[in-house]
Amino acid sequence: MKWEPDNFQLEHNSVWSFPERGNWATHDSNYRGNCSPYVFRNLLIRYSNESDWILDQFVGGGTSLVEAKLLNRNIIGTDINPDALEICRTKVNFGVGTGKVEIRLSDARHLDFIKDNSIDFICTHPPYANVIKYSNDIKADISLLDYDCFLSAMEPVAIEAYRVLKKNKYCAFIIGDIRQKSFIRHLGFDTLKRFEQVGFKLKDTIIKVQHNCQSTHKWKRIAIDNNFFLLAHEYIFVMKK
Ligand X SMILES: C[S@@+](CC[C@H](N)C(=O)[O-])C[C@H]1O[C@@H](n2cnc3c(N)ncnc32)[C@H](O)[C@@H]1O
| Contact residues for ligand X, defined by CB under 6 A | 31, 33-35, 57-58, 60-63, 78-81, 84, 107-109, 125-127, 134, 140-143
C-beta closer to ligand X: residue 147 or 228: 147
C-beta closer to ligand X: residue 155 or 228: 155
For the CB of residue 63, give the shortest distance to ligand X in the complex, in Å.
3
C-beta closer to ligand X: residue 61 or 97: 61
For the CB of residue 227, give the shortest distance to ligand X in the complex, in Å.
30
* Euclidean distance between CA atoms 77 and 223, whole angstroms: 37
Q: What is the largest CA-CA distance in the chain?
A: 53
- Nearest one of 58, 46, 77 to 150, comparing CA atoms: 58
Burial class (CB in 10 A: 0-12, 13-18, 19+), 215: exposed
Instruction: Name beta bridge partners: 77.
Output: 56, 103
The residue with its CB nearest to ligand X is 60
Instruction: Name beta bridge partners: 193.
Output: none
For the CB of residue 155, give the shortest distance to ligand X in the complex, in Å.
12
C-beta closer to ligand X: residue 109 or 169: 109
The set of residues, in sequence order, having a beta carbon less than 8 Å from that of 221 and lying 6+ positions away, is none
18, containing H or E segment: none
For the CB of residue 39, give the shortest distance to ligand X in the complex, in Å.
9
The residue type found at 122 is I
C-beta closer to ligand X: residue 36 or 74: 36
For the CB of residue 56, give the shortest distance to ligand X in the complex, in Å.
7
31, containing H or E segment: none
